[in-house]
Amino acid sequence: MSSPHNPHQNHLLAALPAAEFDRLSPHLELVPMLLGQMLYDPGEQLQHAYFPTTGIVSLHYVTESGATAESAGVGNEGMVGISLVTGGNTTSSSAVVHTMGHAYRLDRHILKQEFTRAGPLQGLLLRYTQALITHMMQTAACTRHHSVEQQLCRWLLLTLDRSPSHVLVMTQELIARMLGVRREGITEYAGELQRAGLIQYRRGHITVIERSGLENRVCECYAVVKKEFDRLLPSTKVVSGSPSG
C-alpha cells in the first residue's frame, strides 16, 4: 500500500529536476505540524527549512502588547525558512502552524549546500522569495486600505488554495488574530457570508460552499498574489480542486 505522504505534494519540490530532487530526497524528513506549533521565534537561529504538504504556516509579527498580525501564509506552494538562503539565518517574524498537517523538513546545512550549487533549486527559491515578498507587501496594503470582509475573503481563498479540502478547521478567534482585527468583526462578516450561502461555520469548521461568491466579494489583493506566484513559478502551478460554486 502506497504512503499517503509524498514530497511531490509540495510544489517547489515537485518542480525540481530529477537529479536535484534525488540529491535532496534522502535528507527530507516527514514531520507532523500541530495546530499552534511554533516552528521558530523572532531572532532565533533557524535549524531547518520546512516544505509543507498538507499543513499551512502563518508568518506573523507580535507587538510588545502581544497583538499579532499575519504578513503571509505558506502552504504546499512554498517553503518556511527562506532567510536560510538569503543569508540572514534569523528573522524578526514568527512561524506558527495555523492548519495542522505535514511537512518535509530539511537540515539548513543541506539546503545551503544545494543552494550554493547555483542550480535549479537556487533559481526556484529566488523566484519564490520574490513571490513571497509580493505576498507580504499586498497583505500590508490590504490591511491598510480594504474592509474586514474583503480581508476575510482574501484569507479564506488563499487558505483554500493550499488546502486539500473545502472544509477548513479554523476558529473565528484564530482568523481574527491572523488578520489583526477584532473577533467581533470576523463574527459579523462570517455571519454575512454564511447568510449569503457562501460558507457554513460550525464548531471551528468553515465549509466553503460557493467559492465564486467569495471571489466576487474579495479585493484585488487575492488576484495580485495569485498572479505573481503563477508568473514566477509556472512549473508549480496546480489547479485547485475546491468548489467553484
Domains held by the chain: number: 2
Q: What is the pLDDT of residue 243?
A: 46
18 with 96, same domain? yes
CA separation for the pair 22, 118 (Å, rounded): 16
50 with 130, same domain? yes
pLDDT at 198 over 50: yes
pLDDT at 172 over 90: no
pLDDT at 197 over 70: yes
Neighbours of 153 (CB within 10 A): 25
CA separation for the pair 114, 23 (Å, rounded): 8
pTM of the shown model: 0.90
Say whether 89 sits in a helix, a strand or coil: coil
pLDDT at 219 over 90: yes
Q: What pLDDT digit, counting tens, does each position of 180-192 carry?
A: 888 899 999 999 9
Q: What is the pLDDT of residue 236?
A: 58
**Is residue 89, in this structure, part of any structural domain at all?**
yes
42 with 94, same domain? yes
CATH code assigned at 176 = 1.10.10.10
- State CA 1 to chain mean position distance: 30
133 with 188, same domain? no
**pLDDT level of residue 3 (50, 70, 90 thresholds):** low
Q: What is the pLDDT of residue 24?
A: 95
CA separation for the pair 40, 63 (Å, rounded): 16
Mean pLDDT for the chain overall: 89
Unique residue bearing C-alpha cell 470582509: 149
**pLDDT level of residue 68 (50, 70, 90 thresholds):** confident
49 with 170, same domain? no
**Is residue 6, in this structure, part of any structural domain at all?**
no
Name, of 38-47, 90-99, 114-123, 176-185, the range with top average pLDDT. 114-123
- Final residue of a domain: which of 89, 117, 142? 142
Q: Quick one: which of 214, 213, 221, 241 has its CA closest to 137?
A: 221
Contact by Cβ (8 Å): 52, 101:
yes
**pLDDT level of residue 44 (50, 70, 90 thresholds):** confident
CATH code assigned at 96 = 2.60.120.10
Q: Residues near 122 by Cβ (< 8 Å), separated by ≥ 6?
A: 85, 115, 116
Contact by Cβ (8 Å): 171, 202:
no
CA separation for the pair 153, 215 (Å, rounded): 7
Q: Quick one: which of 198, 148, 193 has its CA closest to 175?
A: 148
- Final residue of a domain: which of 114, 142, 170? 142
87 with 166, same domain? no
**Is residue 217, in this structure, part of any structural domain at all?**
yes
pLDDT at 89 over 80: no
Contact by Cβ (8 Å): 155, 186:
no
150 with 137, same domain? no
Q: What is the pLDDT of residue 214?
A: 96
Q: Which structural domain range is residue 128 located in?
A: 11-142
- State CA 78 to chain mean position distance: 7
- Final residue of a domain: which of 142, 176, 192? 142
pLDDT at 204 over 90: no
